[in-house]
Each structure stands twice: as structure tokens, then as C-alpha cells.
Amino acid sequence: METNPIPILTIQTTPFDDQRPGTNGLRKKTAVFESKKNYLQNYIQSLLSSIDLRDRQGCTMVVGSDGRYFSRAATEVIVQMAAANGIGRLVIGHNGILSTPAVSCIIRKIKAIGGIILTASHNPGGPGGDFGIKFNVANGGPSPDTVMERIHQVSRTLEEYAICLDLHIDLSRLGRHDFDLENKFKPFRVEIVDSVEIYLNMLRGIFDFGAIKSLLTGPKQLKIRIDAMNGVMGPYVRRILCDELGAPANSAVNCVPLEDFGGQHPNPNPAFAASLVDSMKGGEFGFGAAFDADGDRYMIMGENGFFVSPSDSLAVMAANLSCIPYFSQRGIRGFARSMPTSTAIDRVAKAMKVALYETPTGWRFFGSLMDSGRCSFCGEESFGTGSDHIRDKDGLWSVLVWLSIMAVRKQGVEEIVRDHWAKMGRNYFCRFDYEGVDGKAAYYLMRDLEAVITDKAFTTQKFSVGNNIYSVEKADNFEYIDPVDGSVSRKQGLRIMFTDSSRIIFRLSGSGAGTGATVRIYAESYERDPERHNRETQYLYHFLPLIFTAMSELSVLSVFASSSPACV
């Protein structure tokens, strides 16, 4: 206990006009947070002030990071400001490290008012990289729109912030640390906890660890390759997959969290996890996975480099949830997917006679469904999957679901996926990303394109691409009415749906950290014929002429002239 009470200071500041949080919180170049005077402090004060004072006084909050550059400095500021703003207790991961799923788990376990996560997800780290601040609310999930709007409104008029500059904490010292503050009756407490233990205990209650361990260590041992991409997941992979479940230590690579992720882009897809792809192509390993920086996204690969698309992974997992004790005991109440995500899971829901909810992009929409008991399992096309065990995406949980399915079915990854296609058909799916697009041009593009596709004449259009004829069935700007509270989310993405179940989606993304806008175009084509299940996903490039035909009359088409799409 400190002998001299720590003073609480009030520092004058001026507001910033660019602190509106997006889909994944506030995300900027690291230099913005590090170099702009009071930029970090202003946002943290806005976040804390958005919580009703009566709820904030004496409450508990969780803090964690993916270990990227500037996280330690930012964590200290958060501790100092939380103390000054009446937070009673902070629970922080050892060395400041906590995965996003672990933060959600701990919030729910200890009934915290929320949690601050320092991450820019799969974006690069280091001084020249990106930095972000997410706030998960009391249910463990991302902030709903109402909370993000409150934060933004406070940030626009902020004139001062409160801080205890003399309060310092050693993040490497596990245990409780109490601090006396001036004019406070109770000490401010910081608890540094094991980053993995609470999350691991939760997983033990979900999965049959014995079955997974037999798969990884038995006579017909499955050799796995897990790439933590030098993000937060290294300690979790080592402790859970290796120590707990028996996978050899050399099964896990890049497991030391680094501030710049080893100079790599911590994005679990075939382009950025190329070393894992190369390892899997060699045929030595039967199962491979990679995680993003904060551990909520993942990629699955099978023997000989067989890649499982996120939408296929979502559908296959949904069809096999009975392999998981958690679901076999509790039952399945419903599925949900974001609107751009492939409709492959829709076919599973129909076959299982389970409700399917189509939501806007953003995990917060799933949280409402899960809190009301409507949804058990959900996911997005951006390598994110989860269930009602927490209220956020969960990469390692998803990997354990796959290993459980393999243990029960005694099949490899590719065999499981191809069996699924044979039963349900295959949904070819691809996303084309145009980044750094001029913001105004992107806005006018979406406005003008909406005018084209919502014209009554458009629904009679037929497009010829190669040997294929695509007839428009429906076109709109997606609108979502939350079945729980009746709230309406409008203008969530332009949809063109064809009579053969193919789709083209246009959406402006709100998760970038750099300058300019990101326009995402999604293409999906359904194929029932098993003879046509062996084409590469790049087959969907044949949709590009169709896409640009739909846009050909728009004067702002030039916004794409200097940008080549990446098929994700």
C-alpha cells in the first residue's frame, strides 16, 4: 500500500474532430496516438465519461492488449486515468497481454462493467504501423452503436481529463496492487492476472479435452502446425495446445509476442500466412491454423495445403456442432451471419431446422441475439467465428471446434469439407478489397450505384458473362431490424441477388486505420453439381465484368483506376 496518497490532477485539453469509433473501435496510425499531444488521453477520457458516473464509481474494468508497439505506454495511461475517474479495480493480463476472446471471457466471469482492448486486429504493428482502442461492454461484446455515439459526442466537446500521473504499475508482477488516492475512501486496486488461466478453464467446460488430446498424441497422432504470427496468441497456443493437449512443442511457431509482429502483417489468410501455407503444402502436417494479432480471427488448412474459406469453415462447423459437448448438452437455438458472408450456413440452418439471422457487419449485432437466447453460433466472412460462450470472435475456440470434429468423425480437413459440399452444395465466395479510395468519391460511388440498382427497371436485367446468364432477382440497400429491441440499421451494404442464388455485395468498410476509404466487393456463386466443386475460388473473377457492367454508367468509376483488388 502506498504511504502517501496519490494526487488526482485535472489537465486542460482541446477536443479532436476525428475520434468517432468505427466497427472495431478507434483505429489510427500509431504515430497519431503517440505523437499528437493528449490524443490518447482525450479518447480514454471520452470513453470513461461515456459511462454513467453512478455505474463508474467503484466498478471493475478489464484491460488487455495484443502486445503491439505503444501498448505498454498506453496501458499505463489507462491505469492512471481509470484511477482518477473513479474506477475501483482494474484486471490486467500479465505483461499487459490478453487476447480479445480472453477479455470477453474475463468480463463475463467477474461481472466487470467492460474492458479496454489495445489492438488494431490484423493490421501491422511497430512505430510505423497501426494502433487501436476497442471497448467491450458488460456482456463481453463490442460496443453497440449507442455507446460508440456517446463516446464520440463526449470527444467533440472535451475540455479536460483527470489523471494520476504519479501512479505506476509493474505489469510483470502478478497479484494485487493497492493504491491510496487523494480524497478517496477506498484504495484503487490493480490485479495482474495470468493471461491464459481463466480462458483455459472456460474451454475445459466446453470441449472434450480427452478426445482432442487422443487425436494429437495417440497411435495415429495428427501432426499439426499452428502459427501465432508473433501476436497475442503465442502464450495461449503453448499453454493450451502444447502443455494441456499434448501437441509437440515444435507444432507451434512464431509464439513470442513482438511489438512489430516480427515485421509481418498478422493477418491469417493465405497471402500473409505464406510460411504456414508452404509448410502445409509439404504434406507433413494434417492440420494447420494461424491467428491474427489479438486472437479473434483464424485460418484453417488441411493436409497438402487445402485451404478452408471462412464461409465454408462457418458452415462446416455449424453442421457438426453436435461433436462439441457444450452444444450436445445445451442444444442449438439459432445461427447468425453478417450480410456479406456466404449463404452456405443458411443451407445448414434450413437442413437442421434452425433459425438463421442475417445481420450487418459487426459482432455487436450478434451479441444482442445471443443475450436474448436467439443465437448459439455465428460468424463473418473475415475469418471470425464464435458462439454464446463469450460475446466476441474466438480464434482458438474455433480451432478446437475443428479438432473436435476431426476427433469424432475420424476424417481429415479436406474430406470433411468435401463431404459437406456433396451434401449441401458449394458456395464459391470471394472478396475484392479496394483500399485508399478517396472518401468523397467512394461516397458518391455508393450513392449513384444505389440509384442504379434500386431502379425498378434493374430487377429485369440479365447479364451475360462467358457462357453464363445472370438474371437479377432482387437488389437493395440492406436494412436490419433487430428482433430484440426493434432498432433499425439502414444502408448496410448494396446487394444484387440473382435467380441462381449468386450475389454481389458492395460495402464501405469502417475498420481501416489509414487515409481514404475501403470499398469491399463480395461475389458469391452457388454450385450444386459435385462435378463442379473442384474449381479454384479465383473462378469468381469471372464476376468482375458483371460488376463493372453494373457500374459502367457511373462517372466515379475512376476511383478504382489506381487500385487493384485483392481477392481475400
What does each C-alpha distance from 91 to 174, 339, 390, 503 come to in angstroms?
11, 35, 18, 45
* Angle at 125 (CA atoms; ends 150, 36), nearest 5 degrees: 55
- Do 545 and 556 meet the contact criterion of CB atoms below 8 Å apart? no
First to last CA, the chain: 52
Between CA 499 and CA 472 the distance in angstroms is: 6
- Do 371 and 139 meet the contact criterion of CB atoms below 8 Å apart? yes
Q: Give me the phi and psi of 381, to 5 degrees please.
A: -70, -10
Longest Cα separation, the chain? 81
Between CA 126 and CA 39 the distance in angstroms is: 18
Helices and strands per DSSP (H, E), number in the chain = 18, 27
SS (H, E, C) 211-249: HHHHHHHCCCCCCEEEECCCCCCHHHHHHHHHHHCCCCH
Got the DSSP string for 98-160?
--HHHHHHHHHHHT-SEEEEE--TTS--STTSEEEEEEEETTSSBPPHHHHHHHHHHHHH--E
Q: DSSP character for 181?
A: B
C-alpha cell at 324: 462439441
Which one is catalytic: 46, 65, 71, 121? Answer: 121
Between CA 287 and CA 153 the distance in angstroms is: 47
Q: DSSP character for 249?
A: G
β-strand partners of 507: 520
Which of 460, 536, 538, 543 has its CA nearest to residue 506? Answer: 543
C-alpha cell at 563: 487500385
Residue 121 appears among annotated catalytic residues: yes
Between CA 383 and CA 255 the distance in angstroms is: 20
- CA 89 to chain CA centroid, Å, is 27
- One-letter amino acid for residue 29 of the chain: K
- Do 527 and 346 meet the contact criterion of CB atoms below 8 Å apart? no
Q: Give me the phi and psi of 514, to 5 degrees please.
A: -90, -165
Mapped onto helix, strand or coil, the DSSP state of residue 479 is: coil
Between CA 565 and CA 568 the distance in angstroms is: 9
- Do 286 and 303 meet the contact criterion of CB atoms below 8 Å apart? yes
Residues involved in catalysis: 121
